[in-house]
Structure 1
Amino acid sequence: MANNQENTSEKKKSEKKSEKKADKKQPNKIAKWFKDLRIEFKKVVWPSKKTVINNTSVVLAVVAGAAILVGLLDTGFLALMRLIYQ
């Protein structure tokens, strides 16, 4: 029985040690993640200002064209519905 109690107390001690190790490892993982993130951001090839402006203007033109197209279709269907239901 004494041997069983010793094994139990040793298990508790080893569990406490492993918990302490886990607590200590957590901040290191977070710090490593931020360090890796910084390294990856340095690897990114960022577009030039001219490219960003060009791409933005293309997107705005496509959105405006789609809005005009949807507006025209809506107006056309509205006129068609008025003719049908009069």
Structure 2
Amino acid sequence: MAENTAKKPGFFAKVKNWFKGIGKFFRDTKSELKKVVWPSKSQIINNSIVVLVVMIISAIVILLLDLLFGEVMHLVLQAAASL
């Protein structure tokens, strides 16, 4: 049988590798952020307006559905109470 002769790294080697990993993470993050194409101010404003309009329309639709279902439930409960 073959013996496993690979030596396990010690505590200090693990700590050293951990700090190397942290450094690599920040270097990689910095290089990736250089590749990002940031939106212009006008694009941000346009996208914000679109989000606000969609949010307001969604709120109105939910409000109308809530009122409709509330009124239907009120009618059903009245009909059930009159039986």
TM-score under structure 1 length normalisation: 0.70
Identity among equivalent positions (%) equals 42
Aligned length: 72
Runs of 4+ in 1 over 4 A off after TM superposition: none
Match status 1:51 vs 2:71: no
Q: What per-residue deviation string (whole Å, max 9, x for no partner) do you get for residues 12-42 of structure 1?
A: xx65xx3133332221111111011001001
Structure 2: runs of 5+ lacking an equivalent: 79-83
User: Cα RMSD between the aligned structures?
Assistant: 1.9
Match status 1:30 vs 2:19: no
TM-score under structure 2 length normalisation: 0.73
Structure with more helix by fraction: 1
Write out aligned runs for 1:65-76 (5 A).
Answer: 65-76=57-68
Structure-1 separation of matches of 2:14 and 2:70: 66
